[in-house]
């Protein structure tokens, strides 16, 4: 099986990580596809967040499965990313990234990735979840804007590169996202935890529906 099974840790009080899990489901709006994401706090007391997600998407007329696992610090800085994607020809590829949270990145073997220097967040093309990373990390108040560098991860190629993006906090739980390179822009509706509920034209959260 191309995707490793995710193990479950047990905390000192006997509760497993998955007893404290938060589930989210998004539906793709522009083409067939969906995502089921699980988010929980590590049982080791570090404050890290564990993210495990399964995405179904379409590329070149083929239905593909994408799986990713992230570790995110309590301040919402990415620690690591593991992602695997099926390819239209039936094969599968994977990618491992690690970061110190200050803008330096390495691959799975520890080799530095100098082209990603200065990036603090990750943007995986097939999920609205990665928008939450800068939204939570920046903690912008309405009317404030910040331009950032992110590791952009297209699917299914996983050919990562640095991208500039801009986030502006608006009123009523909305955040404007802009891609500096392409000029693409959307007003995202997020809940009180900073997770996307509506990404016009691309994603709609179907679970949970409330705030």
2 within a domain of the structure (yes/no): no
Distance between CA atoms of residues 162 and 115, nearest Å: 7
Burial of 125 (0-12, 13-18, 19+ CB in 10 A): middle
Closest CA to 78 of 102, 112, 46, 54: 102
Domain with 84 in it: 17-207
9 within a domain of the structure (yes/no): no
Structure letter (DSSP) for residue 18: G
141 within a domain of the structure (yes/no): yes
Question: If pLDDT is split at 50, 70 and 90, which confidence band does 182 have?
Answer: very high
Count up the domains in the chain and report the number: 1
Question: If pLDDT is split at 50, 70 and 90, which confidence band does 143 have?
Answer: very high
Q: Which residue has the higher pLDDT, 115 or 11?
A: 115
Q: What is the pTM of this model?
A: 0.89
Q: What's the confidence (pLDDT) of residue 18?
A: 53
11 within a domain of the structure (yes/no): no
């Amino acid at each position: 099986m191309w995707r490793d099974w995710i193990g479950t840790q047990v905390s000192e009080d006997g509760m497993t990580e998955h007893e404290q899990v938060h589930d989210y489901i998004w539906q793709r709006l522009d083409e067939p596809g969906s995502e089921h994401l699980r988010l929980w706090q590590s049982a080791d007391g570090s404050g890290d967040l564990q993210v495990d997600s399964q995405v179904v998407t379409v590329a070149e007329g083929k239905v593909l499965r994408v799986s990713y696992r992230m570790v995110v610090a309590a301040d919402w800085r990415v620690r690591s990313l593991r992602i695997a994607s099926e390819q239209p020809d039936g094969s599968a590829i994977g990618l491992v990234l690690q970061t110190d949270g200050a803008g330096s990145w390495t691959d799975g073997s520890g080799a530095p990735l100098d082209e990603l220097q200065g990036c603090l967040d990750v943007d995986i093309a097939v999920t609205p979840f990665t928008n939450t990373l800068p939204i939570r990390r920046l903690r912008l108040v309405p009317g404030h804007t910040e331009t950032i560098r992110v590791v952009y991860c297209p699917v299914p190629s996983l050919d990562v590169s640095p991208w500039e993006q801009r986030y502006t906090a608006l009123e009523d739980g909305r955040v404007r996202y802009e891609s500096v390179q392409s000029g693409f822009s959307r007003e995202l509706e997020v809940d009180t935890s900073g997770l996307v509920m509506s990404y016009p034209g691309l994603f709609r959260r179907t679970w949970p529906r409330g705030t």
